[in-house]
Structure 1
Amino acid sequence: MKDGYWLGMDYPGVYLGEKQALNEDYTNSGFDRGHLNPNGHHPVPSRNATFTLTNVVPQNPKTNQGAWGNHESQLTSLFLEKCSKAYVLVGAIPSANNWIIKNNVKRVNIPDYVWNAYCCVDNNDRPIQSGAGTARNTEENYVEKRSLDELGAFLQQVSNKPVGELFYNHCRA
């Protein structure tokens, strides 16, 4: 992975931050760099790849370091204790008009929700457990545990678009 400094050296004339967030966007913003794909779900050294700005969204610090962080830790424990493999989907639901603004420019959209879904399988790749969680990106500091069907209905409601199967055969044995 190359940082922004090297990108500018390799591609002269590229304006860093024109199409992507920068670390400076988060400075004094009041938001954490909330991981979508959590580093705790990966062994060292592969977890280093999760610390890129393409894997984070502005997240309320109380929720990120509280209920959502606990939710991610619970999933890590589940994956280590029960699963031979775990398939995980993650996402954020953008807000209509809530942004980190720098120099009067809308830089990074602050999502209304973060969500994840998982399908835990045994060593024969048979599903043994699944579930999902959603959290409002506020100081509410609460994760709503959901089934995959409930998450699908929730995502369809907020997007007004068909969601379809999140996992093959809805992660059912």
Structure 2
Amino acid sequence: MSRLVVLAGPTAVGKGTVVRALRVSRPDIWVSVSATTRSPRPGEVDGEHYFFVSDDEFDRMVAAGELLEWASVHGDRRYGTPRGPVEERLAQGTPCLLEIDLQGARQVKASMPDALFVFLAPPSWEELVRRLVGRGTETEAERERRLATARDELAAVEEFDETVVNDDLDRAVAAVAHLVEHAR
């Protein structure tokens, strides 16, 4: 049986970028697909990018204990990690990775304390701010909210087993891949 690896870190640290690059360089590492109640964006494929479910189905999944973790995001959208596919891959010995937020990582830690928890950190606060502003996808108020949240998230680094600094994409991807491979 493999050991689950949970990757978390503050907003704009590059979790998605690292995981996308990891999927290309290490297709043998399985990355979980989250369920969400939001509608698909153009180009998103059900079961590949997310499992798109109704509010009623999400409620059923929560009540049945089918999610390792879940959260409400922006008030009306919910996201969660389906437990079944994770447990199946782990039982098969497949290296498994969850890319989630700090709240989700804490929930997984409560239900799967033997997982390896990896914190993806920015090289500096200034670089994190630069990345967030550089995305250009948030309003000023949203950026300020995300930066306030990021300060709290950065303070949680001690809750994690390992820290990978995302100062160079290739180096960060290699470090995460190494941790997943050796987490068995």
Same fold (TM over 0.5): no
Higher radius of gyration, 1 or 2: 1
TM-score range, shorter chain: under 0.3
**Greater RCO structure (CA 8 Å; 6+ sep):** 2
TM-score by length of 2: 0.26
TM-score by length of 1: 0.27
